Amino acid sequence: MILAIHAIPDAEHLAAIAERVALLEWRDGRETAGAVARAVKSNLQASMDSVPGRRLSDELSRLIADHPVVKAAAQPRRISPLLISKTGVGGHYGNHVDNALMGKGDARLRTDLSFTLFLTPPEEYDGGELVVHAAGMTQELKGEAGHMVLYPSGSIHEVRPVTRGTRIVCVGWIESLVADPSQREMLFDLENLRASLRRQLPAQSAELLTLDKTIANLLRMWARP
């Protein structure tokens, strides 16, 4: 499942984030890539251990973790530290697969889902499309600023070369409580159904109570806290 989410709808909030991004320091993006991906990566990565980097990371992490669609679709157990990526003219990230496991020690997580949060308006750069090669299809994505794409970490994906301007995005990974993607999709469908029925039926209706019970019991069966 590839999902587009309007993560930051407020224009003033986006402008404030852009001001914080301008304070970041940058280094070679290959430092954060795995051995195979390093050979096809050409971009810059923000230093997130600086004071501006930590503040921005904390803000965006909370925003992503608290988003209701992310909660429903991803069933997050843990979210990785965030990366801010900047790709200028000629920069790209060739076809690769994200590492299955990231981090060390207690911070180690399994990458079930990857996300890209677009921070630059698409009219400010050419190229730079996120291309996800899923089973039987290829999808090109170039979101508006504030939009986020959630997609399977196990898929082959790439960032096309930027030919004009600068592309800035926030990327990260989610370990889900529910490892099986088909089970996550069923739960997401049921959550969407529940949200729709809540607008139509009383909270204590038999239909909603049955749906509440079904979702809770499926989570008991499938979730691995």
pLDDT at 134 over 90: no
Q: What is the pLDDT of residues 81-118, one digit of tens each?
A: 999 999 999 999 999 999 999 999 999 999 999 999 99
What confidence category does residue 149 fall into, taking pLDDT thresholds of 50, 70 and 90? Answer: very high
What are the DSSP calls for 10-36, one per residue? -HHHHHHHHHHHTT--EEEGGGGS-TT
What confidence category does residue 61 fall into, taking pLDDT thresholds of 50, 70 and 90? Answer: very high
What confidence category does residue 168 fall into, taking pLDDT thresholds of 50, 70 and 90? Answer: very high
pLDDT given for residue 75 in this prediction:
98
Residue 87's nearest CA partner among 48, 130, 54 is: 130
pLDDT given for residue 114 in this prediction:
98
What is the pLDDT of the chain when averaged over all its residues? 95
Mean pLDDT of the 128-149 span:
94
pLDDT at 26 over 90: yes
Cα separation, 98 vs 189, in Å, equals 26
Helices (H), 67-205: 68-74, 181-198
pLDDT given for residue 29 in this prediction:
86
SS3 124: helix
pLDDT given for residue 137 in this prediction:
87
